[in-house]
Amino acid sequence: MATLQEITDRIKGAVGDDSGLGKSLKFDLKDAGVVHIDGGSVTNEDKPADLVMTLGMDDLLAIGAGSLDPTMAVMTGKLKLSDMGAAMA
């Protein structure tokens, strides 16, 4: 299984200098920690975000690998969103 640092590094590589989101996003990986994205900044700081996505590390990896559909993850409760409107924007 990937570590929090490996996940953070992968997200940093994907985000680059600017996430293009226009909002802040936090992956709350429960006991594994958090990944916070704001513009080009990707950290493990647990600070407020416009959208918090709560899921287990295994589920995040499965979504990234394409073996878990994000919509199904939400529908089955594996992925919880703090603000559905922000997630849809």
C-alpha span between 69 and 45 (Å, rounded)? 27
- For domain 4-15+22-82, say whether CATH 3.30.1050.10 is its number: yes
**What's the half-sphere exposure (Cβ side, CA atoms, 13 Å) at 49?**
30
Q: At what angle do helices 4-15 and 57-65 cross, to 10 degrees?
A: 40
Residue 47 has pLDDT above 80, yes or no: yes
List the domain boundaries for the chain.
4-15+22-82
Share above pLDDT 90 across residues of the chain, in percent, rounded to a whole number: 76
Strands (E), 1-89: 25-28, 34-38, 41-43, 51-54, 80-81
**pLDDT tens track for 1-31:** 789 999 999 999 998 888 888 899 999 999 9
SS3 category, 36: strand
pTM beyond 0.75: yes
